[in-house]
Amino acid sequence: MANEEERIALFIDFENLALGARDRGGKLDFSVVMDALSERGRIVVRRAYADWNLFAEHRQALVGQRIEMIEIPQRTGIVRKNAADIKLAVDALELAFEREFITTFVIASGDSDFTPLVLKLRELNRRVIGVGVEGSTSELLPGACDEFLFYERLAGPGTGKSPRRRRRRREPDGNGAEPDAEEDSTTDLAELSRLVTGTLAGLQQSSSGPVLSSMIKRVILRKDPTFSEGDYGFRTWGELTRHLETMGVIELHEGSAEGDPYVEFPADGGGEGSAFELLRDVVGELERREGAAPLSGMKDLLRKRQPGFSEKDFGYGGFLQFVKAASAKGLIDMEWDDEADDYVLSAGAI
Task: Give 60's contacts (C-beta < 8 A, 6+ positions apart).
Answer: none
Q: What is the rounded average pLDDT for all residues in the chain?
A: 83
- Looking at residue 148, its pLDDT comes to 93
What pLDDT, on the 0 to 100 scale, is given for residue 39?
Answer: 77
Topology classification of domain 272-347: Nucleotidyltransferase; domain 5 (3.30.420)
pLDDT at 135: 81
Burial of residue 106 (CB within 10 Å: 0-12, 13-18, 19+) is buried
Q: Which fold has domain 181-264?
A: Arc Repressor Mutant, subunit A (1.10.10)
The whole-angstrom separation of Cα 50 and Cα 88 is: 10
Residue 16, exposed/middle/buried by CB under 10 A (0-12, 13-18, 19+)? buried
Quick: pLDDT tens for 103-153: 999 999 999 999 999 999 999 999 999 999 988 899 999 999 999 999 888
What pLDDT score does 268 carry?
A: 67
Enumerate the domain spans of the chain.
2-155, 181-264, 272-347
pTM, to two decimals: 0.62
What pLDDT is stored for residue 203 in this prediction? 85
Radius of gyration of the chain (CA): 25
Let me know: does 45 contact 26? Beta carbons within 8 Å. Answer: no
| SS3 per residue for 45-69 | EEEEEECCCCCHHHHHHHHHCCCEE
Beta strands 262-264 and 211-212 are: antiparallel
Residue pair 212/261 in contact by the 8 Å Cβ criterion: yes
Handedness of CA 114, 125, 227, 269 (dihedral sign): positive
| CB-CB contact of 199 with 219 (8 Å) | yes
Low-confidence ranges of the chain (pLDDT < 50): 1-2, 77, 158-164, 168-185, 350
Domain at 2-155: CATH code: 3.40.50.1010
